[in-house]
Copies of this chain bind each other. A is one copy, B any other.
């Protein structure tokens, strides 16, 4: 039998969607009780029931003498200027773990760049923060990597760090694309969320300094837990992003240092190329 949704549930649902969609953000005042009464043509007790439900779920909190404000929630941040999977975590004591769910040789579908239609090493991994899954990663690698990078070596580890430490080939860059998609039934189960939940999908390829392919990957992140940061100049200038990592994400401090050197060299190359491109552009336009 179809159940008609009570009005207080509808009001709470509307406000929840506005908060989850970031029309209302942490610290923002919700519309006043009086305004909500007018907007929905309901009594004050109905509005209070809706606000109490949002408060009980932790989405809003009472602010002394000001009404209800949107509560803040912890979020994982990923820097898109970096090529790797490292995250700037909201809290110092966040533990990131990585499970290897699948590791096998398989025929890559035609659509997989560089690997389509060939047999390749296929990984499915899951990343969690304090035991809560936030990302599922599907990766295709050259098949002979299987001889060197074992399944066990990827547990609670960074694949990019393994490229550098085992193969001696640091990730120097690659194409990346970002999309918002709904969770499939399988991804929803792996990420402990509902089918259809918005996921932030990052996909692309990574190459080494010579431009040789290292991996083709897709990473589905839970939209309610993860945000990507993109810093454009000039605000990006004061920081050196590859040195900004926190302990706990990187499994090996020594490799972090070597990666930093690799990053610095790669950045000098990028800088010089940007200057050359800019001069070419000026010559074409002046």
Instruction: Fill in one digit per residue for A222-238: 1 if any B CB lies within 8 Å of its CB, else 0.
Output: 01001111111111110
Instruction: Fill in one digit per residue for A184-223: 1 if any B CB lies within 8 Å of its CB, else 0.
Output: 1111000000011111110110010101000000101101
A27 contacts across to B, CB distance below 8 A? 110-111
* A21 touches B (CB below 8 Å): yes
Q: How far is the CA of A228 from the CA of B234 in the complex (A)?
A: 21
A275 contacts across to B, CB distance below 8 A? 267-268, 271-272
Given known A209-B234, A268-B275, contact A180–B200 (CB-CB < 8 A): yes
Is there an interface contact between A234 and B21, defined as CB atoms closer than 8 Å?
Answer: no
Q: How far is the CB of A88 from chain B (nearest CB, A)?
A: 12
A274 contacts across to B, CB distance below 8 A? 267-268, 270-271, 274
* A80 touches B (CB below 8 Å): yes
Q: How far is the CA of A228 from the CA of B178 in the complex (A)?
A: 5
Q: How far is the CA of A270 from the CA of B138 in the complex (A)?
A: 34
Given known A181-B223, A230-B178, A285-B257, contact A173–B21 (CB-CB < 8 A): no
* A245 touches B (CB below 8 Å): no
Q: How far is the CA of A173 from the CA of B181 in the complex (A)?
A: 28
Is there an interface contact between A233 and B110, defined as CB atoms closer than 8 Å?
Answer: no
* A1 touches B (CB below 8 Å): yes
Q: How far is the CB of A137 from chain B (nearest CB, A)?
A: 13
Given known A110-B29, A175-B231, contact A270–B237 (CB-CB < 8 A): yes
Interface residue ranges, A against B (CB under 8 Å): 1-2, 14, 17-18, 20-29, 70, 80-81, 83, 109-111, 138, 172-187, 195-201, 203-204, 207, 209, 211, 218, 220-221, 223, 226-237, 240, 242-243, 257, 260-261, 263-275, 277-282, 284-286
